[in-house]
Amino acid sequence: RLKALRDTFERQYAVRSGDVEDRDVFGVYQEGRYCVVHALYFRAGRIVGSKAFSFARVEIPVEEMLSSFLLQFYRQDVPIPHEILIPFPLEDQDTLQDFLSEERGSRVSVHCPQRGDKRKLIELAERNAKNSFEESRLRQHAQQDLLDQARQVLGLFEAPERIECFDISTVQGDKPVGAMSVFVGGVPDKTRYRHYAIRHIRGQDDFAMLREVLLRRLQRAVEENDLPSLLLIDGGKGQLNVAITVLRDLGLEDLPVISIAKARPEEKRPGATQDRLFL
């Protein structure tokens, strides 16, 4: 009921945008390499229509994708409004604005509002983009595409349908616990999350505690025929070697395992992942 009321008020707000200008409003929603661009069309201050555009396996930054989309969109004999609102700044925004002004025969304003009523219109377009994404099959495709990328990067024989992630942590410097989080189909499955109280290790021996947690989890997984597709261990080479030893002791050498650690300061580069993966 709340959602229905909210949608109704949003439509009423959008219809009464408060002025008589013609404008197009664009919102973007992205998951992985899949995204949706949603356009709202206002003429004489009233919304006259909207449309969603879906894109799969986008290999370029979303800003570059939106710029390219707008350029192609307005080349298709589409009426160019006085104002175009976009959700984030574009590198070639001035060039795009000049091109559209020339095509229209009068000045066109392309800008990204940060607050106020125009920002609310952007947010409405973004929610519509997200709804379009979720109502289509794009989410399923995006998640599968993400798993396929993981398979290629990690050199796996098949996509990791279920990933079990392990970490050892302490609460206020005491009471160490092991934590397992689980991803199924590329999304968190919190019903499978588990905490393991450390029973047999005295002192702060992270390697020994990790061994205890992995043994308890994997022995049960073997008994219940419930092995994951991939183990992900928080830590570096040392933690990975502990996991490999546990798998060898249980006869599970074929179960893929990797570990993840923060990148060293000298390894950090703009635009690159800030983690190191050990295979």
Q: Residue type for 83, please? A: E
pLDDT in tens, 225-255: 999 999 999 999 999 999 999 999 999 999 9
Give residue 141's pLDDT: 79
| Cα–Cα distance for residue pair 129/54, rounded to 1 Å | 9
| Cα–Cα distance for residue pair 22/43, rounded to 1 Å | 4
The dihedrals phi and psi of 198, each to the nearest 5 degrees, come to: -75, 120
| Cα–Cα distance for residue pair 74/101, rounded to 1 Å | 11
Give residue 174's pLDDT: 66
Tokens of 226: 């419930």
Long-range Cβ contacts of 180-183 (<8 Å, 24+ apart): 180/213, 180/217, 182/228
Tokens of 79: 């009426």
Q: Is the pLDDT of residue 185 over 80?
A: yes
Distances (CA, A) of 7 to 11, 14, 118, 127, 166: 6, 10, 18, 10, 41
pLDDT in tens, 106-163: 999 999 999 988 999 999 999 999 988 887 777 777 788 888 889 998 999 999 999 9
pLDDT in tens, 40-99: 999 888 888 899 998 887 888 999 999 999 999 998 888 999 999 999 999 999 999 999
| Cα–Cα distance for residue pair 212/201, rounded to 1 Å | 8
* % the chain with pLDDT above 90: 56
Count Cα neighbours of 197 within 13 Å in the Cβ-side half-sphere: 2
The dihedrals phi and psi of 267, each to the nearest 5 degrees, come to: -95, -10
DSSP string covering 134-145: HHSSHHHHHHHH
Q: Which residues contact 111 (CB under 8 A, 6 or more apart)?
A: 83, 84, 85, 86, 93
